[in-house]
Structure 1
Amino acid sequence: MGYPRKLTRRFRAFDNFAISFTIINIISGIFSSFGFGMGAGGPRVLVFGWIGVSVMVLFVGAAMAEIASAYPTSGALYFSAGKLAKRHRGAWSWYTGWLNFVGQVGGTAATNYAAATFIQAFVAMQWPSYHPDPRHAVGITAVILVLQALANTYTVQLVAIVNRISVWWLLIGLVVIVAALTVIPDQHQSASYVTHFVNNTGFTNGIYGGMLGLLVTSWTFTGFDGSFHMSEETVKATVNAPRGIMRAIACSAFTGLILMLALVYAIRDYAKEAGASAPPVQILVDALGTGTAKLLLLIVIGAMLFCGLANMTSNTRQIFAFSRDGAMPGSRWWHSVSPRTRTPVKAVWLAAACPLVLVLPGWWSHTAFTAVVSVNVVGLFLAYGVPIFLRLRLDDFQPGPWNLGRYGKLVAGIAVTWILISNVLFMLPQASPITATSFNYAPIALGVVLLIATVWWFASARHRFQGPVSYGRPDEVAAMDLI
């Protein structure tokens, strides 16, 4: 790919799968967004929307996997965008890289803030005198970010081991939660309950309300580009990285559907639980009792912490690669690698500091925090869509060992169509009446990011950044290898 090796290949096929599976993290995604789905479509959209969106995400994953096989680098999306563009390669690469960066930072911030919120919920259940406070959530998030940065500072082997543990934590945790919701309650909803439809969004159009409910699954299925970003540290990356993407999505789709069904059929008092501050936690309490609910809540918190760690790992590699090509302020600083651990330590701490900056507005305004992190999904899926769109336009695309053959363009076309539809949904109003607290700030947040990137591009970046850098011929690059 034109770069000297600085990172060691310690990720096996399972490790590569593990990082995307952990970032998607069905337990974290479903528990943090289930309440929104209860008001936007109810069980019908939660269950059947999960199935439909999972299929569409598989198309996105397959199109990305084909590109990952052809360009297995840490730069992943922005690198492949620069290589696939017919013209203006620097601009395509620039915008893709910054969308990817901001989306990943938002994902790390949102996941860890959600973990802090659930930690406070657990503490309040254990000690009723404690009252959750947004400022405490910011402080807890800061502590979590520091601990995750420390874990990422050490060898990639440690990260791989933690990700292996996280996979088993998720799978065993899923079995425990589903088994508890199936066996312990003395009653469940009838089989036809999955067709129950609810529209509490405030909009009178039920179709619109139900379409908003599709966001629950879309929110969950982000971050599977993690396997792509870990390519330079993965053995046989041209095959194992694309397989990691596809396996992570497929396993998450199947296990997530099981968890979704378990929660839906365990609902007791719909109005009460939908109106709770944490609806899935209230479902656990009503169905299983406070004691069992607290134990299961620990599983959920653990899943969120693992998810945040994997998010930071992926973000670190994107920072490292983007800096290697000179696209970030202080690039020489951020793409340096520790000679002892062979990890980009400085990029790790940048990946910890940026989410903390996003979380800080939550100290005084939950709306401001939501406005900033809402760009997470929009930024990521737009970053996914750019190289797929460019591959669609390219007639002489050279696939890697893992490819879709003659179906490549068809799959890419479906993927781009779904990305456009889902991003429009993310930027539409999600509650009525529209007020300062219910307004969807995602378009504004995205607009600010694109405005800054555009001004920066025309002011200076276009003169020095021409896309991914090549350090020379393969034999010259091999002679520069630092490991």
Structure 2
Amino acid sequence: MSDPESLARTKARHAAEPGPLDDDATLHAMGYPRKLTRRFRAFDNFAISFTIINIISGIFSSFGFGMSAGGPRVLVFGWIAVSIMVLFVGAAMAEIASAYPTSGALYFSAGKLAKRHRGAWSWYTGWLNFVGQVGGTAATGYAAATFIQAFLSMQWPSYDVTAQRTVLITAVILLVQALANTYTVHLVALMNRISVWWLLIGLVVIVVVLTVEPSHHQSASFATHFVNDTGFSNAVYGGMLGLLVTSWTFTGFDGSFHMSEETVRATVNAPKGIMRAIGYSAVTGLILMLALVYAIRDYDKEAGAAAPPVQVLVDALGVGTAKLLLLIVIGAMLFCGLANMTSNTRQIFAFSRDGAMPGSHWWHSVSPRTRTPVKAVWLAAACSFVLVIPGWWSHTAFTAVVSVNVVGLFLSYAVPIFLRLRLDDFEPGPWHLGRYSKLIGRVAVTWIVISSVLFMLPHASPITATSFNYAPIALATVLLIATVWWFASARRRFKGPVSYGRPDEVAAMDLI
């Protein structure tokens, strides 16, 4: 028989445990009817962010830049340091995701957390997130096109790799990914499940081959080797630029947040999806980074190659094995781009649902056959292609698009976290940080501000028309358009996230 104290503890524990979570009731309480299908379970929600982060795609696509900007020291220890900072950002975002599990994600929560000028806070957060999402889709497609060309040149030595062909292949990739996203949510969820296993198995294969196959590896101290080939004389600045490798890899984990309206038990599974995706990516990414770094043979030759990580594979393993591993990398990049576009379209759908984009009535419409925002898919694809067009003539186009992705997304992450810090009566959801909430939020915002300034600065010297980092121009153009539009008309009609009525009223509007 239980003693009274034990019985009291048991009752208290059961009282503290949340009851069954009604996803539709939560959505209705935020003022929205259900228009999307809830097919994403905990693993699916985690899979979307894990696939977008995509350590294979991120590390391989930016490894060459890191070899010039800091070398092994920044690639290895920068990965560890930035991963920790991103965990702070992810935790602060996850707490907000638990409180506001909606496709509007960041811009919705910014509107709800602001004390004043809710419309303006929501407006700019949404546009920053939009340009960051588009940058992520564009950069991933561009990286995949680059590696596809590397594979083609290895398979057929007469193949001529050109910047123009990279842009054209990117266009084809975006077209195929848009077609895939046009079909049902069930298909997208299935593709994301496959992508997780592709990433994990591919990681194991690449690491094992790079560990076992080469006849020679670098010494343990090689991880501290520092290189600054950016053209800037200041070594600290050159090394700081190398942090872009890790920051670029860790973008897009807001995908779990954006998929909330399609996730079962979203108040718990969305925040858990964010944290698991970051944590697993941090550990597995470090393993992959070490495998690549210690496989380097001729540093100067490989750093100067058109695709440095490909040259590392060729020198360490031979052409045949390198081609097989390259197929794994290309597959990972294509999966990453697909997930990027999925997240991108959900942001467009939600932002348009509240009338915050030109032609909003188009972009928030849902296909009655597939239950997906088809028109938003094609808008995401078109905007992404526009962003990669400068790659036709600029050899720094990729790093510029990456910067647009990193800065746009992380600034949109920072706004609701900052607003939550100013709010004393924040009501957390089932997943929360307790008394550490504000401390974690302060660290997150500080890191985002520092990294955003860094990645808007020049990445190569001397600064010429072809080496210029056009990321500030791209970001400023979007913000200028958003500002002009805001003061011209939007501020009079857009007051932040729209409520479609009382919970019982919006429940009657459910389309599924």
* TM-score interval, normalised by the smaller of the two chains: over 0.9
Q: Which residue of 2 aligns with 1:379?
A: 408
Out of 389, 395, 416, the position equivalent to 1:360 is 389
* Structure 1 segment 33-112 matched on structure 2, within 5 A: 33-112=62-141
Q: Which residue of 2 aligns with 1:401?
A: 430
Q: Which residue of 2 aligns with 1:289?
A: 318
Range moving further from structure 2, 371-380 or 154-163? 371-380
Does the residue aligned with 1:437 lie in a helix, a strand or coil? Answer: coil
C-alpha contact 1:362 1:368 (8 A) present in aligned 2: yes
Please give the per-residue CA displacement for 1:161-212, whole angstroms capped at 9, x wherever unaligned.
0000000000100001001100000110111111111122222222222212
Counterpart residue identity of residue 68, structure 1: A
Please give the per-residue CA displacement for 1:78-107, whole angstroms capped at 9, x wherever unaligned.
000000000000000000001111111111
Question: Residues of 2 paired with 1:370 and 1:56: CA distance?
Answer: 21
Q: Which residue of 2 aligns with 1:482?
A: 511
Shift in Å, 1:368: 6.0
Q: Which residue of 1 aligns with 2:50?
A: 21
Shift in Å, 1:414: 0.3
Counterpart residue identity of residue 232, structure 2: F
C-alpha contact 2:403 2:456 (8 A) present in aligned 1: no
C-alpha contact 1:151 1:159 (8 A) present in aligned 2: yes
Q: Which residue of 2 aligns with 1:310?
A: 339
Shift in Å, 1:36: 1.1
Range moving further from structure 2, 388-397 or 434-443? 434-443
Does the residue aligned with 1:343 lie in a helix, a strand or coil? Answer: coil
Look at both structures and tell me which one has the larger radius of gyration over its CA atoms.
2
Change (3 A) 1:124 1:307: same
Question: Residues of 2 paired with 1:113 and 1:437: CA distance?
Answer: 17
Shift in Å, 1:363: 3.1
C-alpha contact 1:358 1:373 (8 A) present in aligned 2: no
Counterpart residue identity of residue 337, structure 1: V
Q: Percent identity?
A: 88
Out of 194, 200, 212, the position equivalent to 1:183 is 212
Please give the per-residue CA displacement for 1:307-349, whole angstroms capped at 9, x wherever unaligned.
1000000001001100100011111111111111111111111
Q: Which residue of 2 aligns with 1:453?
A: 482
Question: Residues of 2 paired with 1:342 and 1:85: CA distance?
Answer: 32
C-alpha contact 1:374 1:445 (8 A) present in aligned 2: no
Question: Residues of 2 paired with 1:441 and 1:479: CA distance?
Answer: 48
Question: Residues of 1 paired with 2:96 and 2:175: CA distance?
Answer: 33
Shift in Å, 1:392: 0.6
Counterpart residue identity of residue 281, structure 1: V
Q: Which residue of 1 aligns with 2:191?
A: 162
Please give the per-residue CA displacement for 1:130-183, whole angstroms capped at 9, x wherever unaligned.
111222222211221121111111110100000000000001000010011000
Question: Residues of 1 paired with 2:40 and 2:296: CA distance?
Answer: 41
Change (3 A) 1:366 1:200: closer
Out of 355, 358, 373, the position equivalent to 1:326 is 355
Q: Which residue of 2 aligns with 1:231?
A: 260
1:433 is aligned to 2:447: no
Give unmatched runs, 5+ long, in structure 1: none
C-alpha contact 1:358 1:372 (8 A) present in aligned 2: yes
Q: Which residue of 1 aligns with 2:179?
A: 150
TM-score (norm 2): 0.92
Does the residue aligned with 1:322 lie in a helix, a strand or coil? Answer: helix
Question: Residues of 2 paired with 1:14 and 1:37: CA distance?
Answer: 32
Counterpart residue identity of residue 210, structure 1: G
1:412 is aligned to 2:416: no
Change (3 A) 1:319 1:219: same
Give unmatched runs, 5+ long, in structure 2: 1-29
1:204 is aligned to 2:233: yes
C-alpha contact 1:358 1:369 (8 A) present in aligned 2: no
Range moving further from structure 2, 241-250 or 198-207? 198-207
Counterpart residue identity of residue 442, structure 1: A
**Consecutive aligned runs of 4 or more in structure 1 exceeding 6 Å deviation:** none
Counterpart residue identity of residue 191, structure 2: V
Question: Residues of 1 paired with 2:131 and 2:460: CA distance?
Answer: 25
Question: Residues of 1 paired with 2:196 and 2:105: CA distance?
Answer: 23
Question: Residues of 1 paired with 2:226 and 2:166: CA distance?
Answer: 34
Question: Residues of 2 paired with 1:33 and 1:375: CA distance?
Answer: 15
Q: Which residue of 2 aligns with 1:268?
A: 297
Shift in Å, 1:369: 7.0
C-alpha contact 1:361 1:369 (8 A) present in aligned 2: no
Q: Which residue of 1 aligns with 2:7?
A: none
Does the residue aligned with 1:117 lie in a helix, a strand or coil? Answer: helix
Matched length: 483
Q: Which residue of 1 aligns with 2:21?
A: none
Change (3 A) 1:35 1:366: closer
C-alpha contact 2:388 2:397 (8 A) present in aligned 1: no
Does the residue aligned with 2:508 lie in a helix, a strand or coil? Answer: helix
Question: Residues of 2 paired with 1:369 and 1:179: CA distance?
Answer: 29
C-alpha contact 2:74 2:226 (8 A) present in aligned 1: yes
TM-score (norm 1): 0.98
Change (3 A) 1:307 1:247: same
